[in-house]
Copies of this chain bind each other. A is one copy, B any other.
Amino acid sequence: MPPAERLIVVGGDAAGMSAASQAKRQRPDLEVITFERGWHTSYSACGMPYLVGGLIEDPTNLIVRTPEQFARQGITARVREEVVALDLAVRRVTVRRLEDGSEYQESFDQLVLATGARPLAPELPGREAEGIYGLSVLMDGIRLREAVDREQPRHAVVVGGGYIGLEMVENLLRRGIAVTLVEAADQVMSTLDPDMAALVADELRREGVALYLGEPVQAFATRNGHVTGVVTSQRTVPADLVVLGLGVRPNVELAHQAGIALGMTGAIAVTDRLQTSAEGVWAAGDCVESRHLVSYQPVFIALGTVANKQGRICGINIGGGYARFPGVLGTAITRVGTLEIARTGLQERECRALGIDYVVGTVRGTVRAGYYPDPGWLVIKVLAERGSGRLLGAQIVGTEQAAKRIDVFAVALHAGMSANEFQYLDLSYAPPFGPTWDTPLIAARKAVEQAQAAAYTVTPWPTAPFPRRNSHR
């Protein structure tokens, strides 16, 4: 029997471990070694806010599979070991043991880069003070949870009004902590249009959150090495706990040093089968760029769902199968208090940057039939292309059970459906689940009416379109 081929996977969370598992399942002869610089493999990073909030008691519940469990699958999963160099010529990685700094080398036949993303962390005065937390690996969540349990902070400041920021707001409120949200932009949720984001801001204020928009953080006030406040362009907000949620950038240093091609977003460029520019080197998850299914442009969108799908597809291909990652829509959903938020596809800003002329259909409806007890409310905004009526994107803000309706738009965007076609979809209806004309259909109808009205209007020449970096969670 010839010596087994060896697959090395760099990164031990969603993308990496999905790839490892799938490849091993299809090719049991493959030797598979995975490296993770954190403490845990294959965990739900998205669960960390709820761990901090106490909705989830035990952090081990967030772990899908431990190194011991991977060992039983025949996968060698090493943690606290970081791959610090990649030599493609001799097909070898250099690994550093983070506990003692010692290094060793391993050779490979096939390699998966699943190095994920790094949090954007500003180099601001006071940044190293105690009491300032980010949420990158699971250990960050565990430490933050322990800090909240131990120190019983009274005033928290969340910096950054994206998904993680909002989820931290909800969960810190749940712990009885007064919360201030500071955001450099003039709206929360940059992936929503300003009108929809305003609904979210209203709700945050209703929930008692102090909200400072358009205030970039300039420094952290400290005393005795512990944070005491967040200094913005306008004020100093007292804080005994600070959580940073400023977005992420792809972690591509290893790939870049090895000469592997990056895409125009700065993330690793891959084929639909998740191959990089180097033979036998694959990449998946938050470190790669994807094709946007509406704009066809390369985008960098770091989301757990995408990482899982890409990891699986990567593993199928390594295992000798055939699978193609179709692309992304940037579909995302979150909740803050009793408010639900979701979005998919392009937003207005993106359309303008791409030179796409669009119409808007916005409608306010109910989550259940209007006459049903506690009917709830939701606002749905739909963008459709002028002329063609092709759906471009959708956004939803509303009460419980509102946001998951975004998925009907995601399917329609995948299918390249027009608003005209969408408005007559045979969606489900019964009084506990919505009005007879479900609100997504009405929103599409509004867009159709706008598209018809706009068909012969004259608009200014578009400004030069230029694809832009686009970063979601």
Find out whether the CB atom of A426 lies under 8 angstroms from the CB atom of B44.
Answer: no
SS class, residues of chain A in contact with chain B: mixed
| A430 with B334: CB separation less than 8 A | yes
Q: Which of B167, B329, B371 has a CB less than 8 Å from the CB of A426?
A: B329
Q: Which residues of B contact A14 (CB under 8 A)?
A: 436
Q: How far is the CA of A433 from the CA of B328 in the complex (A)?
A: 19
**A407 to B428 alpha-carbon distance, docked (Å):** 6
Cβ of A437: which chain B residues have Cβ within 8 Å of it? 305, 308
User: In the complex, what distance in Å separates the CA atom of A408 from the CA atom of B372?
Assistant: 24
- 0 or 1 for each of A161-204: is its CB under 8 Å from B? (1 = yes): 00100010000000000000000000000000000000000000
User: Is the CB of A410 closer than 8 A to any CB of chain B?
Assistant: yes
Chain B residues within an 8 Å CB radius of A344: 426, 428
Whether B411 lies near A415 (C-beta < 8 A) is: yes
A3 within 8 Å of B by Cβ? no
Name A301's closest neighbour in chain B (CB-CB). Answer: B426
A376 contacts B by Cβ under 8 Å: no
> A408 and B408 in contact (CB under 8 A), knowing A56-B372, A344-B426?
yes
A427 at interface by CB-CB < 8 Å: yes
Report if A333-B50 is in contact (Cβ < 8 Å); known contacts: A62-B371, A437-B308.
no
Residues of B within 8 Å of A410, CB to CB, are 408, 425-428
Say yes or no for A404: interface residue by CB 8 A criterion: yes
Cβ of A332 within 8 Å of any chain B Cβ, yes or no, is yes
Contacts A304-B436, A369-B47: A428 and B411 contacting too (C-beta < 8 A)? no
Contact among B325, B408, B426, B432 with A335 in the assembled complex (CB-CB below 8 Å): B432
* Cβ-defined contact, A309 with B424, below 8 A: yes
> Which residues from chain B contact A62 at a C-beta distance below 8 Å?
371
Q: Is A326 an interface residue (CB 8 A)?
A: yes
> Which B residues touch A421, using CB under 8 A?
326, 414
* This chain's copy number in the assembly: 2
Chain A 409-450, CB within 8 Å of chain B: the 1/0 string?
011101101000100111111111110111000000000000
Answer whether residue A342 sits at the interface, using C-beta atoms and an 8 A cutoff: yes
Closest to A409 in B: B411
Chain B residues within 8 Å of A433, by CB: 333, 335, 403-404
Would you give the shortest CB distance from A82 to chain B, in whole angstroms?
A: 25
Residues of B within 8 A of A47 (CB): 369, 371-372, 431
- For A325, the chain B residues whose CB sits under 8 A away are 424
Does any Cβ of B come within 8 Å of A254's Cβ? Answer: no
For residue A453, CB closer than 8 A to chain B, the reply is no
Q: Does A226 reach chain B (CB closer than 8 Å)?
A: no
Most B CB contacts (10 A, CB to CB) among A369, A403, A430 go to A430
Q: Does A406 contact B (CB under 8 A)?
A: yes
Provide the residues of chain B in CB contact with A69, threshold 8 Å: none
Chain A residues numbered 314-332 whose CB sits less than 8 Å from any CB in chain B: 325-332
Q: Determine the residue in chain B with the shortest Cβ distance to A307.
A: B436
Q: Are B50 and A431 touching (Cβ within 8 A)?
A: yes
A428–B332 touching, CB < 8 Å: yes
A-B contact pairs, 10 of them (CB 8 A): A303-B429, A305-B426, A305-B436, A332-B430, A406-B428, A407-B438, A410-B426, A410-B427, A411-B412, A414-B417
Known contacts A304-B436, A333-B430, A410-B427; can you find 6 more A-B pairs with CB under 8 A? A44-B369, A332-B428, A342-B428, A407-B425, A407-B428, A415-B415
